[in-house]
Amino acid sequence: MKRLFSTLIFSLLLFFGQPISAQVYNPWVLAKGQPDTRDLRKVTEALYAQAGARTDREKAEILWRFLLTDGRFVEPGMFYHIAGWAYEEPCGEVLDPLKLLNSYGFGLCYQDGPLLESLFEAGGFKDSRVWFVTGHTVAEVFFDGKYNMFDSDMLGYTTLGQGDPRKSPVASVHELELDSTIILGKMLAPNKADSTKVVYPWYPADVHARAMSGYAELFTSREDNWLYPYPRSPQGHSMDFTLRPGERLVRYFAPERDSLYYLPYKNKGGVWSEFPQEREEYKIRTGDGPKSQKDWRRWATGRIEYQPQLWNKDSYYPLSGAGFNENLKLPVSSMDSLTRLDSTSPATAVFEMPSPYVLIDAEFSLAANLATPEHRVTFETSTDGGRTWQYAGNISGPFHGPWQTRAGVLTVSDHGTRTAVSGLYCYLVRVRMSGPDPAQGVMIWDLRLTSLIQVNPRTLPALNPGVNELVYSPGPRLKKWTVPLALDRLAEFALKVDNLECVIENDNLIILPGAWKEGQAVFALAAPDSGELTEFQAGGRFLVLEHLAPEKTTAETRKTSYSSPSPSQAKASIAWSLSPDGPYTTIWEYNPAISWLDNKPEKRTLRWPEVDRRISGLPSGVKVVYLKYTLDGMALDDLRIALFTSPPARQSRLVITHVWAAGNSQSSQTMEITKPEKETSYKVDAGTGSKIENKAVIFYCP
């Protein structure tokens, strides 16, 4: 354990850039009837409608089937099983449902189970919950007066009794713990299930491997089974994004090249190493990337390409007021996009590069004219809001022509690299120009900033032969600003920190109140000086520690030396105010009382609630909101804060392009959306061939 800071007070307003007019806000396009993976509620509504599901049992089953992981036994769907590839430092294994659905599309049981729980909650059920059972994770959902266990990862659920399984009650974890014959009674032989007693698929891989007795034992070995009675998944991520003039979002249906993927790295003792592990017995090779080991499914990649106007202030991210420097100038006589240094003082431009998808890498290019060795252009990136910068490359004169670089490489390993932006969702780019005799010495043009991203291709609007009906729909006309936070540097980001400390235990970061007495952190969220704060979002993972804590590398449990002296008296809350001195309005407060809908209280609980609250309807003219996090006898190991602004009503037009191939020929169709604030239906004729290959869907803001 290492203590990183004690009680500190540091004043810093989180300052964000000026939103640009004539943008396109949160565009999305789907095939007609396709689930909208921006919104879990819309996903469940689409699935219910497609299946004609009316009863709770029918609805629960269709959500379970949506996430079945093994395409050898069922039609391949949204999610597949692979270890080690959905991981992001410092929080560890990814549990956010929108990240898992849209950027990954794969994971293990401890991701599939919470994802299913989130769908149950979004689908209108009274309650759902997650169990960790001896190295495996499953979800339960409450209907018909009881909890019902569904396992999408291992492809099965089990009913009670020997009757028609489609009419018999579904077993709960409690019932499976007490009676192994509920599972084993469905077997005719160690490798054969009684098809009249189960709903297909019923654990096909385990049945084939003669492993059902081991599966039953996962439940009956009760001592190490733990229940998460609170939400298991964070809900802070969104697929919101804004296209600025000159910006393009390209989403491919396959990786651009087989070697391009997000390769997670873990930080152990300050040393970074690849997180996925080679498993020869399962033919898992890291160099193959995150492809399914059981069927044809793969990942996909994409690009966010931005060509900013270097002479236009509205292109810049004014970092603490210094994102744009007047020493950049567009020559009056120039007819193309040339920008030059306008004085002997250095000039700086800072650009924000957010992404709704997980970042793989970043590339930067320009064309330059640099007269002498003293003339220079330098690129840097920042992932903490401009507090620190990472070198990305520079070019010195004499030079004339195109040049490119990429985000700084931090770690090189056998199968890839960790860059300064890998595994994140936003970064800043800083471009600096310097040198004497500016009129003749430094000039740049054709600046392009590109983010490489990872995409789940099964969320994209795939075309089929013939005429396809597609639906364009906008998201809310809001600009989201995610606040960068680091638990081990909390005092740098907070307005005030009192009696809180960050500790590192087994490479897991935890915020604790000193002596387990009340501690607080206050954050100031400032809207851009040209607009108003419309909404904000606050959340995190709160922990009642009782000798067990979350383990980031497994999403399971680990022993901890930190335990609250009075777990039953633990308190935590989130509150907000328009003044740093209050009064504060509480938007979440830890409630130790759990409602047991089946009247069966459970003592084996992991009280680690994931909390996300979004507040709208702020008074007109609000520029700053203050957030207060309070811990008393509780800990916290994740913080999630974002704010939203309403930019000007005017939007740019949007150009959507679909690209596909049939045989040896490639085709495309472009649709111009002149009013991107309105839903629009359109058709794409992909031809009459028997098979087409989808290539890409492209959004462009001219």
Q: Kind of pairing, strands 80-81 and 106-107? A: parallel
- CATH 2.60.120.260: which residues of the chain? 301-454, 479-645
CATH number of 301-454: 2.60.120.260
Q: Show the beta-strand stretches assigned E in 144-263.
A: 146-150, 187-189, 192-193, 225-228, 242-243, 247-252
Q: What is the mean pLDDT of residues 582-607?
A: 96
Burial tier of 460 (Cβ tally within 10 Å: 0-12, 13-18, 19+) = buried
Topology adopted by domain 39-228:
C8orf32 fold (3.10.620)
Predicted model pTM: 0.94
Looking at residue 507, its pLDDT comes to 96
In sequence order, what E strands does 98-210 have?
106-107, 128-133, 137-143, 146-150, 187-189, 192-193
For residue 639, give the 3-state DSSP assignment.
strand
Q: Band of the pLDDT at 13, cuts 50, 70, 90?
A: very low
Amino acid 1: pLDDT: 36
Residue 15 scores a pLDDT above 80: no
Write out pLDDT tens, residues 288-312: 999 998 899 999 999 999 998 876 6
pLDDT for 399 equals: 95
Q: Residue 54's pLDDT is what?
A: 97
Kindly state the average pLDDT of the residues 244-269: 96
pLDDT in tens, 368-382: 999 999 999 999 999
Three-state SS string across 273-332, please? EECCCCEHHHCECHHHCCCCCCCCCCCEEEEEEECCCCCCHHHCCCHHHCCECCCEECCC
Query: Which fold would CATH assign to domain 479-645?
Result: Jelly Rolls (2.60.120)
Whole-number pLDDT of residue 455? 98
Helix (H, G, I), strand (E, B) or coil at 44: helix
Considering just the CA atoms, what is the radius of gyration of the chain in Å? Answer: 27
- For residues 142 and 138, give the distance between their C-alpha atoms in angstroms, rounded to a whole number: 14
Predicted confidence band at 524 (pLDDT cuts at 50, 70, 90)? very high
pLDDT at 12 over 70: no
- Position 332 scores a pLDDT of 55
pLDDT digit string (tens) for 97-113? 999 999 999 999 999 99
CA–CA distance, 246 with 311 (Å, rounded to integer): 14
pLDDT of 203 higher than 50: yes
* Both structure tokens of 376: 């220079």
**Nearest-10 Cα torsion for 81, 82, 88, 91:** 60
pLDDT tens-digit readout, 547-563: 999 999 999 999 999 99
Q: Is the pLDDT of residue 485 over 80?
A: yes
CB 358 within 8 A of CB 262: yes
Q: Is the pLDDT confidence value at 18 over 90?
A: no
Residue 528 above 50 pLDDT? Answer: yes
Q: How far apart are CA 180 and CA 218, in angstroms?
A: 10
Distance from chain centroid for Cα 237: 5
Counting residues of the chain whose pLDDT is more than 70, the rounded percentage is: 92
Q: What is the mean pLDDT of the chain?
A: 91
| Segments in 38-96 forming alpha helices (H) | 40-51, 56-66
